[in-house]
Amino acid sequence: MPSSPNDLLHAPTPPAGHPAPTRGRYAAGVIPYRNMGYWEPDYVPRPTDVIALFRITPQEGVEPEEAAAAVAGESSTATWTVVWTDRLTACDRYRAKAYQVDPVPGTGPGTAQPQQWFARIAYDLALFEEGSIANLSASIIGNVFGFKAVRALRLEDMRLPVALVKTFQGPPTGIVVERERLDKFGRPLLGATVKPKLGLSGKNYGRVVYEALRGGLDFVKDDENINSQPFMHWRDRFLFSMEAVNRAQADTGEVKGHYLNVTAGTVEQMYERAEFAAELGSVIVMVDLVIGYSAIQSMSRWARRHDMILHLHRAGHGTYTRQKAHGVSFRVIAKWMRLAGVDHIHAGTVVGKLEGDPNIVRGVYDTLRESSTAERLDRGLFFDQDWGDLRKVMPVASGGIHAGQMHQLLHYLGEDVVLQFGGGTIGHPMGIAAGATANRVALEAMVLARNEGKDLWNDGAQVLDEAAKSCRPLEAALDTWKDVTFEYESTDTPDVIGTPTVA
Amino acid sequence: MRITQGTFSFLPDLTDAQIRRQIEYALSQDWALAVESTDDPHPRNTYWEMWGQPIFDCTQAEVVMREVEACRRAHPDRYLKVSAFDAKSGWETVRLSFIVQRPAEEPGFQLVRQEGPGRLQRYSLRGYACAHPPGQRYPRKAP
């Protein structure tokens, strides 16, 4: 049976190479994407181009250049057939240009994986509206991920030109100003999420907040799904939590905070909740990633107007970031969120209970915290990225971490990070305040030792044992959790030849 | 109570040898050291009294330690902290700050409440010691 002319799997594909548009380029009908101007191997990206790096698993029989061209086409101007209305535009400029495909190491014949390709695609700056993640993402991941000619597709990384970066507000506060407002320098900040995350009344909830803060934490946090349920109305939670915050500030002489989750069904309700938080004197509010990119940008602008730190919980990201063959890598989400403007974002722990290869996590942390990052394939960073003086985002490490891992956490994550010990604070055998004290003492002892030049990687456990001699809560924490580890193979690891990943 | 501002307040008070090692670390990072003191340790009191200018272009921890000592002699009843300032692009802020002296007695803070409409409370912190004028807030340590 002859194949139909619009069936990509069987459409005739001439050999790869620079496609010189022929006289028939705009004749009605279907021609391969690579011949429509979406594959330009000689193209040199301009400094103002957005560049996307996709991992493509083509369907059987589709050549990588054609698959890359199809992705470029479907994420920019193309549709499945030639349209004469292209002739009314400067279409050469608006076409995204796939300009390089490279085989992904460890895939293809002789491996367990079907052949995958890294494709680089450049987009002209004119394709994007200023200051809009919704617009950027609607182009780059809008239609193309359901495209039949690719079996699987993953957006691995993006190079965002400074010209586009500067159209975004970025984090409303940033690491530097957050620390200056809180008067906390030189060490990671400490937090905890209230547990159980659902079911506590406002009064009991505030008790957990108070105990954890007076014991030594800097922050306590609402969980992603605590909003305004029958057991605790949001106003009740805010009032009791701020009572706890103020009591703890009086007890310690330190600035304390509780991330009041203002996530709600509409942006108007979120504004109402956030305004109440500001009226009560909270230094920080939080939203969930599932509220959507535009809602996040709205809340970011609100936070800037109200001198508020904005915490983002990455609820839902695992549905599309975790699997290597298909979806969007978390480093891209991290880049978008730095543009959209959040001050905190959950970004992995390496040693805790949630997914996180050390090199991948390092790449994400660098993306959030550095003024610029250079290409580091072993960390999943495919491009040089200049952030154009956009403020820095504080990464948050949360999920299955405890005081006994303090040296590893400081080693992997550095000091500009919020370490959140939920179970590791609230589950302490001597109580919540003791759990908080154990974490704070372990942290300060470890920073002191690091600054003194001690080798934390090898001697960190001794530093903890030494500190525990004058801190009974730390001793109890170490006894309880010392041997708890989560050693599973990561699913999202860098694919680079010659740099094995040590988990 | 014990005010727990600063990087190391949950540890036992640092010895001079420990303070010196932290200063050496800050110098190794090319940070400028500053000594500051206060008798109003309210958590929002950003501006403690500077003990002279920040010490720029210093390579010897000993120089900073001498300033700590001099400030202690001048203000034996105050809170003292050492801060390390990083002038590098992208930071331009304090990177480390820790208390190196505290008064013998720390009376702490009163949480003052003002009942507002509904269940609203207006909170403010008032240092018990701040009931007295500056200079008379903390009892002198026995010499």
**Span A80-94, pLDDT tens digits:** 888 899 899 999 999
Mean pLDDT of A256-269: 98
Q: Which of A178, A183, A210, A234 to mutate to test the interface with B (most CBs of B within 10 A)?
A: A183
A233 among known catalytic residues: no
Mean pLDDT of A373-385: 96
**Span B93-104, pLDDT tens digits:** 999 999 999 999
> A253 contacts in B (CB within 8 Å)?
1, 3-5, 41-43, 108-109
Q: How far apart are CA A202 and CA A386, in angstroms?
A: 45
Mean pLDDT of A219-247: 97
B43/A183 CB distance under 8 A: yes
Find, among A298, A295, A300, the residue nearest to A311 by Cα.
A300
- Is pLDDT at A10 greater than 60 in this prediction? no
What pLDDT score was predicted for residue A151?
95
Mean pLDDT of A417-440: 95
Q: Which residues of B touch A (CB under 8 A)?
A: 1, 3-5, 7-12, 18, 21-22, 25, 41-44, 46, 83-84, 89-98, 108-111, 119-121, 123, 125
**B41 to A480, B49, B83, B99, B126: CA distances (angstroms):** 36, 11, 15, 11, 10
> B110 contacts in A (CB within 8 Å)?
250
| Interface contact A372, partner B, CB < 8 A | no
Of A25-39, A280-294, A318-332, the poorest mean pLDDT is in: A25-39
- Is pLDDT at A502 greater than 50 in this prediction? no
- Is pLDDT at A286 greater than 80 in this prediction? yes
Peptide bond into A196 cis (omega under 30): yes
What is chain A's mean pLDDT, rounded? 92
- DSSP string covering A148-208: TTEEEEEEEEEEPPHHHHTTS---SSHHHHHHHHHT--SS-EEE-B-SSSSS--HHHHHHH
A239/B119 CB distance under 8 A: yes
From the list A184, A195, A197, A353, the catalytic residue is: A195
pLDDT band for position A24 (50/70/90)? confident
> A451 contacts in B (CB within 8 Å)?
21-22, 25, 96
What pLDDT score was predicted for residue A492?
78
Residue A30: what residue type? V
Within 10 Å of residue B38's Cβ, how many Cβ atoms? 17
| Backbone torsions φ then ψ of A417, nearest 5 degrees | -160, 150
Of A240-249, A445-454, A456-465, A477-486, the poorest mean pLDDT is in: A477-486
A444/B11 CB distance under 8 A: yes
Mean pLDDT of A323-330: 95
- Is pLDDT at A60 greater than 50 in this prediction? yes
**Span A83-128, pLDDT tens digits:** 899 899 999 999 999 999 999 999 999 999 999 999 999 999 999 9
What pLDDT score was predicted for residue A499?
46
Tokens of A162: 């400074």
Find, among A141, A115, A138, the residue nearest to A53 by Cα.
A141
Ranges of residues in chain B with a pLDDT under 70 are: 140-143
Cross-strand partners of B34: B83
| Interface contact A252, partner B, CB < 8 A | yes
Mean pLDDT of A287-302: 98
Q: How far apart are CA A54 and CA A62, in angstroms?
A: 16
- By DSSP bridging, strand B93-101 and strand B109-115 are unpaired
CA angle, residues A137, A139, A115, in degrees to nearest 5: 90
Mean pLDDT of A460-476: 96
From the list A313, A335, A344, A411, the catalytic residue is: A313
What pLDDT score was predicted for residue B98?
98
- Is pLDDT at A342 greater than 90 in this prediction? yes
Q: Which of A217, A246, A443 to mutate to test the interface with B (most CBs of B within 10 A)?
A: A246
Q: How far apart are CA A201 and CA A203, in angstroms?
A: 5
- Is pLDDT at A21 greater than 60 in this prediction? no
A311 among known catalytic residues: no
Cα of B104 to nearest chain A Cα, Å:
16
> B119 contacts in A (CB within 8 Å)?
239
Q: Which of A182, A185, A443 to mutate to test the interface with B (most CBs of B within 10 A)?
A: A185
> B21 contacts in A (CB within 8 Å)?
451-453
Q: Are A82 and A28 in contact (CB under 8 A)?
A: yes
> A406 contacts in B (CB within 8 Å)?
none
Within 10 Å of residue A177's Cβ, how many Cβ atoms? 17
B96/A243 CB distance under 8 A: no
Q: Name the residue of chain B whose CA is nearest to A255's CA.
A: B43
What pLDDT score was predicted for residue B17?
98
pLDDT band for position A1 (50/70/90)? very low
Mean pLDDT of A282-310: 98
> A239 contacts in B (CB within 8 Å)?
119-121
**Span B76-94, pLDDT tens digits:** 999 999 999 999 999 999 9
Q: What are the b/e assignments for A84-106, b being 16+ CB within 10 Å?
A: eebeeeebeeebbbbbbbeebee
What pLDDT score was predicted for residue A11?
45
Q: Are A371 and A387 in contact (CB under 8 A)?
A: yes
| Interface contact A307, partner B, CB < 8 A | no
Nearest to A452 among B3, B25, B96 (CB): B25
